[in-house]
Amino acid sequence: MSYKEKAIATYSRTKEIMEKFQLFTKKNYGQNFIIDPTTVEKIALLAQLGERTAVIEIGPGIGALTEQLAKHSKTVVCFEVDERLKPVLEMSLQEYGNIEVIFEDFLKVDLDYYVKELKKSHERVVVCANLPYYITTPVLFHIFDSKADISYITVMMQKEVANRLSAICSTKDYNALSIIVQYKYNVKVVMKIGKNVFLPKPNVDSSVVQFEKKNIEKVVSDEERFFEFVKAAFTQRRKTIFNNLKAVSNNIELILKEAGIGLERRAESLTVEEFIDLFEVYYEKESIRKN
């Protein structure tokens, strides 16, 4: 029997595991199991792993991706919310001694604590996961909002969400979310995945997106206010940035002129750097006016 026939991510092995444990995918957990060994192996190879790397996985399912992560890293720590999968994962991953599965809701996990513990014995910590579509954004922002020292985040998600996160300015997918994420991370789609490699088959295609933490050259004065400012600029996409930001400041015409941004421009035409410069002028002017 070949390696690919033995892999968890084959259709026959997946069906065998599901039948053995009378396992049915739960829609409320967004469960779609990958049934193509080549796909999970490629994701693992893209995830910036190594013999001194610890990888955090969210939602291991029956262990298809987990198996490949274990082969290519020192340690795998998985967070799984579905308690039904405990005996499944104990059986499917029994050959691997470098995997720890924690049955806890990842959104409630103190990520900073776990990463600090892993950093004591590993050179770096990365995240790699096949994220359920319905919870992709909350999971990502739980990681982004933590102070955890995570070098790379490599995750599979719905293609449309991937396009928005990785979009460049002046494209239809570029929005407030693109800017908020790209302020801290270099973002790129590293792999496209069709719906046919999943069981059950979803209605949409997927992409694997990689986030590499930036050394931020321009740090904004108030990150929370910056994100709110960016969202306000995109309130109505067809309006100019001037019209959208009038609700934020009565002084917006002067602020835009001082930042070198034309009043006729729309938010999607501004780069991340232009938004940072604009916000800093706004922040300075508004701070002066309030003092």
- Which pLDDT score, from 0 to 100, does residue 291 have? 52
pTM passes above 0.85 = yes
- Which pLDDT score, from 0 to 100, does residue 104 have? 97
Here the tokens at position 146 are 């933590």
- Which pLDDT score, from 0 to 100, does residue 202 have? 87
Rounded distance between C-alpha atoms, residue 158 and residue 205, angstroms: 6
Measured between alpha carbons, how far is residue 110 from residues 5, 120, 149, 151 in Å? 38, 16, 13, 17
- Which pLDDT score, from 0 to 100, does residue 2 have? 41
CATH architecture of 3-213: 3-Layer(aba) Sandwich (3.40)
Measured between alpha carbons, how far is residue 205 from residues 92, 105, 195 in Å? 27, 26, 5
Angle in degrees, 0-180, between the axes of helices 272-290 and 252-259, rounded to the nearest 10: 130
Q: How many CB atoms lie within 10 A of CB 124?
A: 18
Kindly list the domain boundaries of the chain, sorted by start residue.
3-213, 223-290
Q: How many CB atoms lie within 10 A of CB 200?
A: 11
DSSP 8-class letter at 250: T
> Can you give the pLDDT of all 291 residues of the chain as single tens digits?
344 458 999 999 999 999 999 887 665 555 688 999 999 999 999 999 999 999 999 999 999 999 999 999 999 999 999 898 999 999 999 999 999 999 999 999 999 999 999 999 999 999 999 998 889 999 999 999 998 999 999 999 999 999 999 999 999 999 999 999 999 999 999 999 999 999 888 889 999 999 999 988 889 999 999 999 999 999 999 999 999 999 999 999 999 999 999 999 999 999 999 999 999 999 998 876 555
Looking up tokens 């020192």, which residue turns up? 74
- Which pLDDT score, from 0 to 100, does residue 1 have? 39
Query: 223-290: what CATH class?
Result: mainly alpha
DSSP 8-class letter at 201: -
Give the bridge partners for 34, in sequence order: 198
Q: How many Å is the maximal CA-CA distance in the chain?
A: 74
